[in-house]
Amino acid sequence: MALSFKHPLHPAVGAMLALLLAAQAQASSHREAPFITNIPKADATDFYMFRSYEPGRERFVTLIADYVPLQDPYGGPNYFMLDPNALYEIHIDNNGDAKEDLTFQFRFTNTNKDAQFTVGGKKVSIPLVINGGAIDGANAAGTNVRETYAVTVVRGDRRGGTKGAVSNVDGGITFDKPIDNIGRKSIPDYAGYAARHVYEVKIPGCEVPARMFVGQRKDPFVVNLGETFDLVNIKAPAVEFNANAERNARDDLSNKNVTTIAMEVAASCLVAPGGADPVIGGWTTASVRQGRLVNPAPGTGTGASKEGGAWTQVSRLGMPLVNEVVIGLKDKDRFNHSKPSSDAQFADYVTHPTLPMLVETLFGSAGAKAPTNFPRNDLVAAFLTGVKGLNQPAKVTPSEMLRLNTAIAPVAMGKQKRLGVIDGDNAGFPNGRRPGDDVVDIALRVVMGKLCTLSLGCVPADAPAGAIRFTDGAYLDDAAFTMAFPYLKPPLPGSPQQ
């Protein structure tokens, strides 16, 4: 029995579901809450945390936080530099108390080198980010703007914990970020150029050197966005596999880039001291200053605005799709400003979710019946505690974050299963998240009761539609990525000219 998303529907209800599913479809977190649309440079799009599967790096964990959604490759002349007035952070909880025990803080600095041409005997500043000539190394002479960053590791509370600077192998604490992929004439070998910005670094308190990269990458997500907005004008199969429905939809992010913050850290440096519990939790945030004063007459030496006051968190991302299809519209901004330790206020959205009821309202006659177990303990396990025996800490405070059991060995590229745990691959989502995990399809199936068919938090009888292969039709697996850190492919060039 096939489930068609072209089933007749009431226009008002159809529009509501279309908006919900479309929000889900915009990758993990592209423009997911009203306020964050005003400050896209602080908008986290995806967060990944997984055991490194690059050969020889199996004892490491890779952390990837992507920011600045929907980047058009041709977006010059300024392209997509990160905000020097923002604080970008990756947090690790290694004792299950919903509070960060380890935080990596990234701050950026943009320096205008003020390249000039002599025109009619006068030196005149050029309008472009580049000055001409091939660019092949960090801070190349051909660049007009130098973007650098510094990283601080905080142990304990991120505001009052013990701090130390992450340093290069030569002791330097300032790192260059590659400029965005302007085009092949400016940067003939972008992959090679970007690779020169992968740093081996020392993390205070960690004896094993880590690796780090910050720079533009191809957007790692795939989604059939346009048809989803069109009153969910897509088809989804039932229990049997249907290649046409699950593989052949348009990827509306195929021509977009993002900005990646990536670290590869030894698992032994992330787990709690002593290593008794191998499970860690992780999430990424961005914060900006509380106050902004706009300069009515910016000029040389004075910026367009002045920021001040305490840091205020405006973006938060752990588990994918939570703010999109779990949190109600009235609380989306509140969620982005909140900490995992305060997630009890959002519990009803998980234990009594609305999306399954909307799916049943629209497509119940086609077999899409919502799960009947309340509270939804299967979703509590997936989103708030980790799954017992898989990635649940020994002691856990229910809270939303990505959880990874670092004791589970990685699966080599080419052998990973895109549906992760629900397809028998325990190294995949929701045990952490790899780039090739198709979290849209996984989340659709889990919210409609797939875990009940596996007797995880509920029983098969609780999920009449638990075996349906819900999908957006935009196929994703590990073949879309590389085998080595930072795993995401180089960004698309702004100029198609060879």
Read off the pLDDT of residues 84-117 as tens digits, 9 standing for 90 and up: 999 999 999 999 999 999 999 999 999 988 888 9
- How many residues does this entry show for the chain? 498
Q: What local confidence, expressed as pLDDT, does residue 232 receive?
A: 55
Q: What local confidence, expressed as pLDDT, does residue 328 receive?
A: 87
The b-or-e profile of 186-203 (16+ CB within 10 A means b, else e) is bbeebeebbeebbbebbb
**What are the φ and ψ backbone dihedral angles of 387, each rounded to 5 degrees?**
-85, 125
Q: What local confidence, expressed as pLDDT, does residue 10 receive?
A: 43
pLDDT digits (tens, 9 = 90+) for 276-297: 899 999 999 999 999 999 989 8
Q: What local confidence, expressed as pLDDT, does residue 227 receive?
A: 62
- Going by their DSSP bridges, the two strands 145-155 and 102-112 should be labelled as antiparallel
pLDDT digits (tens, 9 = 90+) for 261-271: 999 999 999 99
> Mean pLDDT, to the nearest integer, of 188-200?
96
Q: What local confidence, expressed as pLDDT, does residue 151 receive?
A: 98
> Mean pLDDT, to the nearest integer, of 129-140?
79
Indicate if the alpha-carbon torsion angle 382, 415, 49, 96 is positive or negative: positive
pLDDT digits (tens, 9 = 90+) for 212-265: 999 999 999 887 666 655 655 555 556 666 666 677 777 878 899 999 999 999
Query: Which two structure tokens, joined as six digits, stand for 48?
Result: 């990944």
Q: What local confidence, expressed as pLDDT, does residue 25 receive?
A: 40
Q: In 270-365, at which residue ranges do the beta strands (DSSP E only) sit? A: 279-294, 305-317
Q: In the structure, what pLDDT confidence band is assigned to residue 15 with cuts at 50, 70 and 90? A: very low
Q: Where is pLDDT greater, at 252 or 378?
A: 378
Question: Helix, strand or coil for residue 225?
Answer: helix
- Poorest-pLDDT segment among 8-17, 56-65, 67-76: 8-17
pLDDT(400) > 80? yes
Q: What local confidence, expressed as pLDDT, does residue 317 receive?
A: 94
Of 404, 413, 403, nearest to 435 by C-alpha is: 413
pLDDT digits (tens, 9 = 90+) for 29-63: 566 666 777 789 989 999 999 999 999 999 999 99
Q: What whole-number distance in Å separates Cα of residue 396 and Cα of residue 210? A: 28
Q: In the structure, what pLDDT confidence band is assigned to residue 362 with cuts at 50, 70 and 90? A: confident
DSSP for 436-477? Answer: T--HHHHHHHHHTTHHHHTTSSS-GGG-TTTT-----S----
Q: In the structure, what pLDDT confidence band is assigned to residue 189 with cuts at 50, 70 and 90? A: very high
Please check whether residue 135 is in contact with residue 143, taking contact to mean a CB–CB distance below 8 angstroms: yes
Which residues does 276 contact at the CB level (< 8 Å), separation at least 6?
Answer: 394
- Diameter of the chain by CA atoms? 83
Task: Find the helix packing angle between 11-25 and 439-447, rounded to 10°.
Answer: 130
pLDDT digits (tens, 9 = 90+) for 168-184: 988 999 999 999 999 99
Of 398, 405, 395, nearest to 432 by C-alpha is: 405
- Mean residue pLDDT of the chain comes to 88
Q: Where is pLDDT greater, at 151 or 14?
A: 151
Q: In the structure, what pLDDT confidence band is assigned to residue 28 with cuts at 50, 70 and 90? A: low
| Ramachandran area for residue 114 (φ above 0: left; ψ -120 to 50: alpha; else beta) | left
Which residues does 229 contact at the CB level (< 8 Å), separation at least 6?
Answer: 18, 19, 22
pLDDT(11) > 50? no
Q: In the structure, what pLDDT confidence band is assigned to residue 190 with cuts at 50, 70 and 90? A: very high
